[in-house]
Amino acid sequence: MEYSGVGIAITGCGSSAPNSTVTNDQLSQVVETSDEWIASRTGIRQRHLSDSSGTLVDLAAKAAKSAIEMAGIEPDQVDLILLATSTPDDLFGSACQVQAAIGASQAVAFDLTAACSGFVFGLVTAAQYIRTGVYRNVVLIGADVLSRWVDWNDRRTCVLFGDGAGAVVIQANERDRLLGFELRSDGTQNRCLNLAYASTAKPLLEDCEIGQGNFQPITMNGQEVYRFAVKRVPEVIEKALFRANLGVDAIDWLLLHQANQRILDSVADRLKIPSEKVISNLAKYGNTSAASIPLALDEAVREGFVKTGDTIAASGFGAGLTWGAAIFQWGR
């Protein structure tokens, strides 16, 4: 993508997950399922689950702190904190509590909700603030505690999700490392995947009624989401590559939202990307929603797979429906 002005670079990453893990075998004590069914359909072997004292803010703050440390900046140099989440501790937003927890006293902070696409949408949002010269140092966190909202009686969904957080530091940089992106939304398909509020009518006055209720556990049409992902994700990556003026061969790493190994394999197959270039850690974490991309990135960087200058094609997809791709190079 041609851009004359300030560029962006991703200079640090971090992640965190609750200590407690639950294996597929353990889950089969909760619902009628098996390690064989879950692993063969999804690739997931275990997930990390938050207990009742665990907060989204703690997970997010821990990931953000280690990203800031890797980037080599001080918390008070952070200008903006974007918290991509669908499971805040507070519906008014949790980003300000993260700001306080990490001591980023100068940062403005707000939540961004785009489900499992939250990290990619957040990356592009951060880039706009930096490219326009408004901010120089942005912390983008993807964090979710979906275990709070899973129906633990529904074996079709409860086996898929886990809790966690991942974060990156995005900084103004002479050379622009965000090479191309494409974001999409389709609200007409919203019913495929929901964590929806359900309201009950309550009379307040004789001629005034209000609605009060609760959010209902996650519902998902798995097959429709699967079909959507394997069609739309390759398309959106190709579009982002086109904007970057790059071909598939330029991709060093395919970094998809960690929903399901079959989706990862199918997208790689359609794009003709060899499996050794596909980053996957969902066997250990399950689907951690907005956290999954930065969590997988953090592991791949710290384990020495992703190196400075490597070109990464990242794609998020999920509820909304939303989907998007960003082509970027790791490091300055």
Residues in the site for ligand ACO, rule: CB under 6 A? 33, 37-38, 41-42, 115-116, 155-156, 159, 193, 220, 222-223, 225-226, 259-260, 263, 287, 289, 318-319
What whole-number distance in Å separates Cα of residue 185 and Cα of residue 122? 14
User: For this structure, is 257 an active site residue?
Assistant: yes
Query: Which string of DSSP letters, residue by residue, matches 177-223?
Result: -EEEEEEEE-GGGGGGEE--EEEEEEEEETTEEEEEEEEPPPEE-HH
Smallest gap, in angstroms, from Cβ of residue 14 to ligand ACO?
21
What whole-number distance in Å separates Cα of residue 100 and Cα of residue 87? 19
Q: Residue 317 corresponds to which amino acid? A: F
Smallest gap, in angstroms, from Cβ of residue 266 to ligand ACO?
10
Of 93 and 222, the one with the shorter C-beta distance to ligand ACO is 222
Going by C-alpha positions, the residue among 147, 143, 151, 235 that lies closest to residue 186 is 235
Which of the following is catalytic: 96, 116, 158, 192? 116
The two beta strands, 137-145 and 163-173, are antiparallel
Of 105 and 216, the one with the shorter C-beta distance to ligand ACO is 216
Of 129 and 323, the one with the shorter C-beta distance to ligand ACO is 323
Phi, psi (degrees; rounded to nearest 5) at 113: -115, 110
Smallest gap, in angstroms, from Cβ of residue 37 to ligand ACO?
4
SS3 143: strand
The helix-helix angle for 118-131 and 292-302 (nearest 10°) equals: 80
Going by C-alpha positions, the residue among 242, 300, 293, 258 that lies closest to residue 276 is 300
User: For this structure, is 116 an active site residue?
Assistant: yes
Smallest gap, in angstroms, from Cβ of residue 254 to ligand ACO?
16
Of 23 and 245, the one with the shorter C-beta distance to ligand ACO is 23
Residue 177 in tokens: 């490392």
Which of the following is catalytic: 158, 257, 260, 281? 257
Of 83 and 220, the one with the shorter C-beta distance to ligand ACO is 220
Q: Which residue is nearest to ligand ACO (CB)?
A: 222
Smallest gap, in angstroms, from Cβ of residue 67 to ligand ACO?
22
Q: Catalytic residue positions? A: 116, 257, 287
